Amino acid sequence: MNGQLPESVPLAGLDLRARTDELRPEHAVVRNARGEWVLLRHAEVLAAALDDERFSSGASRFLQIPNGLNGETHSRYRNIVDRYLSREALTPFISIFEQVAEQLVATLPRRNTLCAVTDIGMPFGVRAQCAWLGWPGELECDLLAWIRENFAVARSADPARAAAVAERFDGIIRSVIAPRRAPGAPHSDDVTTRLCREQVNGRSLTDEELVSILRNWTGGDLGSIALSVGVLLEFLGRHPALMRQLRSATGARVDAVIDEILRLDDPFVSNRRVTTCPVRIGGHEIPEGATVRLNWTSANRDERVFDHNCFDPEGHAAANLVFGAGRHVCPGRLLATWELRILARSLLSAVQSLYLADDLPPERETAPLGGYRRVPVVIT
Ligand code: HEM
């Protein structure tokens, strides 16, 4: 039973998780204020993610590599991206990420109220990413400012402001590419330099293609890692027994627990598709050329699939959609998982206690963002 399709559901300014929790029992599909068809349940979101022929990823007018590509073209670029995010490619960075986490945790003030998103998640995400990509540490301030601005623009839904922020971010990326591509550039061997030498269709990648690839890595990494750290520490702050358990848990258990916490409050909210033909889904006829939104946050809380959302890391792992599914499944999953595990372990081993500040409640993000804007915590 799908219920009547509400004509248009305003989501802006609301807590998306709470709002989609209200809508999902009655509606498999709703239309948002922009006229997009929003899929809310696990079955439909998974079906659309797996059906990349009828649900095309070419939903943006901007070049998005590999996110916005389809078919053979997607595979060609995706093969390049995957090489940098494999277990083998990432293993040398484990000790570097550990150092980054330990240094950050060592400098966090004790017995003061900190924000898990802005004081822990953001600097960790930026430093880990600069270390991985071989970017200079001096970019930290610019990148932190960009994350804040990018979140603010997403909330404001102002296209002109969004274009200006995107342009600034592309400028940061161009500043790291240019010296590596200049004639007679010194021979270094970091991840960005190697990417600059990649070829596709027998030619070098263009600047525009490099900027797009790096934008999707960094955009995916920085915002999602910061929000994920907020979600994670808020949950652990409310579950001290779980926090104690994790101090001596295996890596696999820590990863499963993190995935389950992110399933319950997935901060990577949604992705768009465009229908390539009329499609019947969730009891509705969607015309050709319509924009469809796969709402991962809602699908990940589908009570029928996840046993009324009890906490069951191992039992829910197979159906977890935090990192997507199908052709466009997140290639950065291992990097994100290792970064989050390393930061969690580093915090848990270095602090005596971590708890939610009792005088300042956590503040939820609002649509189109997920997770928390502010998670005040105290460490001792
Ligand atoms: C907690 C962190 C992260 C979450 C929750 C997340 C989630 C996702 C999801 C759900 C998708 C599927 C998008 C779709 O189907 O349209 C995706 C795709 C993608 N992610 Fe992530 N991601 C995270 C971190 C990262 C990191 C660290 C990187 C790279 C450094 C990354 C790079 C990408 C790229 C390039 C795609 C597009 C793949 C394609 O189109 O083939 N992500 N991510």
**What pLDDT does 184 receive?**
84
**What pLDDT does 190 receive?**
95
- For domain 16-379, the CATH superfamily is Cytochrome P450 (1.10.630.10)
- Spatial separation of the C-alpha atoms in residues 333 and 350, rounded to whole Å: 26
Write out pLDDT tens, residues 148-165.
Answer: 998 999 888 888 998 999
Amino acid at 135: W
Largest Cα separation within the chain, whole Å, is 66
* CB-ligand 1 contact for 295 (6 Å cutoff): no
Atom of ligand 1 minimally distant from the CA of 69: 40
Would you say residue 1 has pLDDT above 60?
no
One DSSP character per residue, 227-293 reads HHHHHHHHHHHH-HHHHHHHHT--HHHHHHHHHHHHHHT-SS-EEEEEESS-EEETTEEE-TT-EEE
* CB-ligand 1 contact for 68 (6 Å cutoff): no
**What pLDDT does 248 receive?**
95
Please state the domain extents for the chain.
16-379
Q: Is 301 helix (H, G, I), strand (E, B) or coil?
A: coil
In the chain, the percentage of residues whose pLDDT exceeds 70 is 98
CA of 67 to the centre of ligand 1 (A): 9
Length of the chain, please?
Answer: 380
Atom of ligand 1 minimally distant from the CA of 339: 27
Instruction: Judge whether 141 is annotated as a binding position.
Output: no
Would you say residue 71 has pLDDT above 90?
yes
Mutate to test the pocket of ligand 1, among 44, 224, 298, 330 (most ligand atoms within 8 A of CB): 330
* CB-ligand 1 contact for 298 (6 Å cutoff): no
Residue bearing the CA closest to ligand 1, atom 15: 328
Residue 373's pLDDT band (boundaries 50, 70, 90)?
A: very high
Residue bearing the CA closest to ligand 1, atom 7: 323
Which one, of 133, 49, 142, 125, lies nearest residue 90 by Cα?
Answer: 133
Contact call for residues 283 and 30 (beta carbons, < 8 A)? no
Residue bearing the CA closest to ligand 1, atom 36: 330
Residue range 223-234: average pLDDT? 96
Write out pLDDT tens, residues 277-334.
Answer: 999 999 999 999 999 999 999 999 999 999 999 999 999 999 999 999 999 999 999 9
Atom of ligand 1 minimally distant from the CA of 213: 35
236 versus 1: which is more confidently predicted? 236
* CB-ligand 1 contact for 268 (6 Å cutoff): yes
**Gap between the terminal Cα atoms of the chain:** 51
CA of 220 to the centre of ligand 1 (A): 6
Residue range 122-137: average pLDDT? 96
* CB-ligand 1 contact for 218 (6 Å cutoff): no
Number of other residues whose CB lies within 10 A of the CB of residue 179: 13
Atom of ligand 1 minimally distant from the CA of 296: 10
Radius of gyration of the chain (CA): 21
- Spatial separation of the C-alpha atoms in residues 347 and 342, rounded to whole Å: 9
